[in-house]
Amino acid sequence: MKKYLFTPGPAPVPPEVLLEMSRPVIHHRTPEFSAILDSARERMRPLYGTKSEVILLASTGTGAMEAAVINLLQPGEHAIFVNGGKFGERWGKLLAAFGMIGHEVRVEWGRAARPEQIEDAFKAYPESRAVLVQASETSTCAIHPIAPIGEITRKHGAMLIVDGITSVGVFEQKMDEWSVDAFVTGSQKALMLPPGLGMVALSPRALEVAKANKTPRFYFDLMKELKAQRDEHTTAWTAAVSLILGLNKSLEMIHSEGLPNVYARHALMAEATRDAASALGLKLLSPDNPAPGVTGILIPEGLDGGKLVKFLRDNLGVSIQGGQDRMKGKLARIGHMGHLSPFDMLIAIGAFEIGLKQIGAKINLGAGVAAVQARIARSI
């Protein structure tokens, strides 16, 4: 059976990238590898919207989140974190694991953090050294407003640490303009790669802070890693050579498509998916601030969304993802990141409709598909 991947990570990898990664492994202390590493790091910058340094790590996105925390904060220091879903919650767990004092800004699932909430948190905890937030909270398919949060954070002299794992490469990011100090992403979402690479971009201020930071760290010592990558054109430890070859290739493809076109393609896929939900009479978890990389559609009351996800996977070869935690069984998350075209949403929605029927939803088969088709036709 042909398989289709519409999960919000991992996302489909193009054949060009798969071929590149199947090249014989080269040594990581060679001029050949150095040129590829330099090129990949350089090509990441426009995706972040930064002139600053991008560091590649052999880890998943969570490793890059951890690296940001332990290089910029020290045990006993205070930090504000936005918890609007599973990944925001993860910031809190990371802070606690390393002895930092996290102050939670709670955001209802599906909502965006309001800048006033950050302002209030600074009023209550003026000693806070950083704000940690997701640009796109994948568990609720919602985005948070990074620009105004950055403004408030800068005003209070704190650092802004952003998880951009489902925003970098999906929609325009302006790291320097938004005053982001550490911007994290990972390979297996919009970057069209298998899992296994994490990236952190650091502002000049973050570099200063990291240099003086006393938190115990070894593998994720970003200063050691930066020295290797920037000054010696290699990685501190054995590089994830094949993934970095793949990254350089996928970034070449992204830049040859053109970033504005890449962002427009993701936006169109998201719009088409939302149109489909609405045509089927279904509601979104985050109608006011939907993420362009993944759409969260609420399963009609009383029906089992878990069964739908399993039916699609086992019977139709189509993978979407359900809800996590309190949304378990109540949410369908359709990912539209990476190597996908708007036409792929016809498949995702076509299968989704069949799954809905299967679990007993009263929908008009084809209504969602027609909405996707109409949106694509309007975009031409």
Ligand X SMILES: *Cc1c(COP(=O)(O)O)cnc(C)c1O
- Residues that bind ligand X in the complex, under the rule CB under 6 A: 9, 60-62, 87, 134, 138, 163, 165-166, 186
Residue 201 Cβ vs ligand X, minimum distance, rounded to whole Å: 15
User: In terms of CB distance, is 9 or 322 closer to ligand X?
Assistant: 9
Residue 86 Cβ vs ligand X, minimum distance, rounded to whole Å: 8
Residue facing ligand X at closest CB distance: 61
Residue 185 Cβ vs ligand X, minimum distance, rounded to whole Å: 9
Residue 7 Cβ vs ligand X, minimum distance, rounded to whole Å: 10
User: In terms of CB distance, is 40 or 162 closer to ligand X?
Assistant: 162
User: In terms of CB distance, is 240 or 316 closer to ligand X?
Assistant: 240
User: In terms of CB distance, is 61 or 350 closer to ligand X?
Assistant: 61
User: In terms of CB distance, is 166 or 286 closer to ligand X?
Assistant: 166
Extract the tokens encoding 282. 């279904």
380 burial (CB, 10 Å; 0-12 / 13-18 / 19+) is: exposed
The identity of residue 121, as a single letter, is: A
User: In terms of CB distance, is 188 or 248 closer to ligand X?
Assistant: 188
Residue 323 Cβ vs ligand X, minimum distance, rounded to whole Å: 14
Residue 42 Cβ vs ligand X, minimum distance, rounded to whole Å: 23
The identity of residue 285, as a single letter, is: L
| Spatial CB neighbours of 80, under 8 Å, sequence gap ≥ 6 | 102, 103, 105, 118, 121, 122, 125, 128, 130, 131, 132, 158
Residue 302 Cβ vs ligand X, minimum distance, rounded to whole Å: 29
User: In terms of CB distance, is 67 or 226 closer to ligand X?
Assistant: 67
Which residue, 308, 227, 367, is CA-closest to 6?
A: 308
Residue 128 Cβ vs ligand X, minimum distance, rounded to whole Å: 21
Residue 118 Cβ vs ligand X, minimum distance, rounded to whole Å: 18
User: In terms of CB distance, is 33 or 178 closer to ligand X?
Assistant: 178
User: In terms of CB distance, is 167 or 373 closer to ligand X?
Assistant: 167
